[in-house]
Amino acid sequence: MDFKLQNKATGTEARTGIITTDHGVIETPIFMPVGTVGSVKGVHFRDLKEDIKAQIILGNTYHLYLRPGLETIRQAGGLHKFNGWDGPILTDSGGYQVFSLGDIRKLSEKGAKFQSHIDGSRHLFTPENVMDIQRIIGADIIMAFDECTPGDADYNYAKQSLELTQRWLDRCIKRFDETQPVYGYSQTLFPIVQGCIYKDLRERAAEHVASLDREGYAIGGLSVGESEEEMYAMVEVVNKILPEDKPRYLMGVGTPVNILENIDRGIDMFDCVMPTRNGRNGTLFTKNGIINIRNKKWENDFSPLDPDGTSFVDQHYSKAYLRHLFVSKEMLGAQIGSIHNLAFFMWLVGEARKQIQNNTFAVWKAEMVKKLGIRL
């Protein structure tokens, strides 16, 4: 993997760049649609590529490990071959999902024991086997196995959790560096910065990962219960320390406003289930604000779903028709909402990129942030 920093705008940390992987290039800042079990919910890959213009998608190691399982993915020749997406893929490490399991997981120095949410079967994730699993899944960019510290953890818990994450990171790197890709193309490992909402822990974590000189870095443990101000403050702290010439991935974030605020603070990569999850529920993001399409006010509004939208659904379907699909519980409604929102998130990061290139990002962002949160 290679990252080339391109532009920086004045009065902001926002920047543009190009990530090159063996499955193609990614223009940053970028949003990555989430393909949990290898499918972006409700969206055909053809539409993802040609209409939404996704450049990289995300897969969840925890889910893929359970279903379809490693044997099937290996026999297919990796996740790209299995699902037919031939562009870049990033996998998380399973850390976030495992820690979300609550009572049915148990942590130790060795790793995390957990029970499958599907059938209760028992499994163990360790830094080493999570590297091996991600080798088999075959994503272009893979993540270190970490503990995702809860946003409301106290200082002592957060400190011990970070130290565990750092010891696990050293083991991840050792295993990753002594193993080879399974399918012939290269993979890269991103360390994850934890440290909850504590400035000194985040600084320490950022310094530790920066010292390791990897090809890119992730920031985890944000958007997990802390306030938005705390999230932004932590991103600022970390990005002051992370090297400028490496991509920075803010995991699991966020709303359109969160994305712009964090681009402003120097983040290059984002992923979030919000566009698809909210799209399935009838919440649509537009450049003029948020539409709840179930609202009665759209019942007889036959104007296009989003006249400014970039995907085929925006021009073909009307607001009234989409409302009717949601009211009638037709699955096409969830499909349309998902495509619209993903295309909007892709437009948002693409437009941010242009504004950075034109050195107009700061003014544009300030205007957009005012509009994006409006309830239409």
Catalytic residues: 92, 271
Contacts of 149 (CB under 8 A, 6+ apart): 157, 158, 161, 162, 165, 194, 195, 196, 221, 224
What is the rounded CA–CA span in Å between residue 338 and residue 236?
A: 31
What is the rounded CA–CA span in Å between residue 311 and residue 344?
A: 8
Contacts of 363 (CB under 8 A, 6+ apart): none
In the complex, least distance from residue 351 CB atom to a second copy, rounded to whole angstroms: 25
Nearer to a second copy, 71 or 177 (CB): 71
In the complex, least distance from residue 161 CB atom to a second copy, rounded to whole angstroms: 31
Chain residues that interact with a second copy, rule: CB under 8 A:
37-46, 63, 67-68, 71-72, 75-77, 81-84, 299-300, 302, 312-313, 316-318, 320-321, 324-325, 327-328, 330-332, 334-336
In the complex, least distance from residue 95 CB atom to a second copy, rounded to whole angstroms: 21
In the complex, least distance from residue 337 CB atom to a second copy, rounded to whole angstroms: 12
In the complex, least distance from residue 93 CB atom to a second copy, rounded to whole angstroms: 20
Whether 60 contacts 53, CB under 8 Å:
no
Closest CA to 279 of 288, 292, 260: 292
Nearer to a second copy, 40 or 206 (CB): 40
In the complex, least distance from residue 318 CB atom to a second copy, rounded to whole angstroms: 7
Q: Any alpha helices (H) in the chain, and if so which ranges? A: 45-50, 61-66, 70-76, 79-83, 95-100, 127-137, 155-177, 199-210, 228-241, 256-264, 274-280, 312-316, 319-327, 331-357, 361-372
Nearer to a second copy, 241 or 313 (CB): 313
Specify the DSSP class assigned to residue 318. Answer: B
**Tokens 């295309």 sit on residue:** 343
Whether 113 contacts 124, CB under 8 Å:
yes
Task: Give me the half-sphere count of Cα atoms (radius 13 Å) on the Cβ side of residue 170.
Answer: 10
What is the rounded CA–CA span in Å between residue 361 and residue 359?
A: 6
Nearer to a second copy, 164 or 332 (CB): 332
Nearer to a second copy, 73 or 169 (CB): 73
Nearer to a second copy, 172 or 293 (CB): 293
**Tokens 């953890």 sit on residue:** 153
